[in-house]
Structure 1
Amino acid sequence: MCLRLLTGSPRTRAQLADALRRKDIPDEVADHVLGRFTDVGLIDDEAFAQMWVRSRHAGRGLGRRALAAELRQRGVDREIVNEAVETLDSEQEERRARELVMRKLSSTRGVERTKRVRRLVGMLARKGYPPGMAYRVVKDALESEGADTEDFPDTWDAD
């Protein structure tokens, strides 16, 4: 059963343990199987977390906070989660936030400025970016577009 689950996609130890529990596999048997799978390298939560962070950041544009929440939801240990999300440096995270805003910016043209700001900052917030970074990136994008940003909130450095 574990091999079949791992064939479809990588899984964490906790995800496999949950699957075994749902099939009423005794805990001792599940622990033995999961231990053996870990010993031979078929289960590696650290590698899973690293791959997850790279993949979801590049593909979905998720920030550190959202990535950490997804990993914790999959049962990855908090220390492993912290190590994995720390592999994303602030520059990478901000560069990806800028890309996301620039992609979305054109679809907000013609919308009232405060609504544009709210939509763009909200999009970044839902993707797990810190509020200070989100405001700063949106302000910069609107300035580069020539939009008025004089009465923006003074929370740019509130990362």
Structure 2
Amino acid sequence: MIITNITSQKDPERVNIFIDNHFAFGLFLWTKEELGLKKGMEIDESLLERIKSKDELQSAKAKAYEYLSYRQRTQKELEDYLLKKEFKKNTVDNVIELLREAGYVDDLDFARAYVRDKTTYKNFGPYRIRNELSQKGISKESVDTALHEEYHEEVQELVDLVKSKYSSILHDRSDKRFRRIGGFLQRKGHSYDTIKKVLDIIDGKDD
């Protein structure tokens, strides 16, 4: 098999490869340059597989960088995304390893930022944060570390939040108040002890 022509695509980073006077495939200019592909070059099946493998790796990296450009991602999120794009598993593994080494994928850093964000802007408690990070594929060890370093219980903020949201039932001492306020804080991931602290402060029993 002979490379009979190499032409540019509209995308300046990609070229078309013609083999034996027929279009064979498109690939990244980077792949062409790395493998030294040129017109008149003879290729065999082994080199053809190398070309396709390297170009898939480059394509997967490009997709990964694009995906990461919108926001930080977990390793599992990136893996699921690339597999959905039908890249081979070993290609995905290689891309993730490259991005981890370069610092673009860091589950512990993601978990730390997630804890800070959800406590600051959503008033989430540790149970909900732990569950959501677990669903994103973060390891228990990384979740534990992130919560230990970044989570600080702010009971007064929860008291203020409850007073603002449930002002009409604050002085209702029935089970209805406990169910509504307790359910609200529980859905945000707070423990029974935290919920009790909030209600005690509201009721003036925090002495």
TM-score by length of 2: 0.63
Contact 1:56–1:62 under 8 Å retained in 2 = yes
For the residue of structure 2 that corresponds to 1:76, the secondary structure is coil
Structure 1 moving runs of 4+ over 6 Å? none
User: CA contact under 8 A between 2:119 and 2:151: conserved in structure 1?
Assistant: no
Aligned counterpart in structure 2 of residue 81 of structure 1, from 143, 157, 175: 143
Superposed CA RMSD in Å reads 2.1
2:115 partner amino acid: V
For residue 4 of structure 2, what is the aligned residue in structure 1? none
Find the partner of 2:111 among 39, 49, 60. 49
Separation (CA, whole Å) in 1 of partners of 2:140 and 2:123: 22
Distance 2:112 2:90 in 1: 29
Asked whether the 8 Å contact 1:49–1:84 carries over to 2, the reply is yes
Q: Give the CA deviation at 1:111.
A: 5.5
1:4 and 2:48 aligned: no
TM-fit CA distance, 1:136 = 2.5
Mapped pair 1:122 → 2:190: no
Q: Retained in 1: the 8 A contact 2:116–2:151?
A: no
Shift of residue 118 of structure 1? 1.4
Which runs of structure 2 are paired with 1:18-97 in the superposition (5 Å)? 18-88=80-150, 92-97=153-158
Q: Which residue of 2 aligns with 1:155?
A: none
**Higher alpha-carbon Rg:** 2
Stretches of structure 1 that go unaligned for 5 or more consecutive residues are 150-159
Q: Between Structure 1 and Structure 2, which shows a larger proportion of strand residues?
A: 2
1:85 Cα offset (Å): 1.3
Q: Contact 2:99/2:105 (CA < 8 Å) preserved in 1?
A: yes
* 2:169 is equivalent to residue 108 of structure 1: yes
Q: TM-score, normalised to structure 1's length?
A: 0.81
**Greater relative CO, 1 or 2 (CA 8 Å, sep 6+):** 1
Larger proportion of helix? 1
* Aligned pairs, number: 144
SS at match of 2:164: helix
Aligned residue identity for 1:25: F
Q: Deviations over 1:137-157 (max 9, x none)?
A: 11321x14xxxx8xxxxxxxx
Give, in angstroms, the shift of residue 18 of structure 1: 0.5
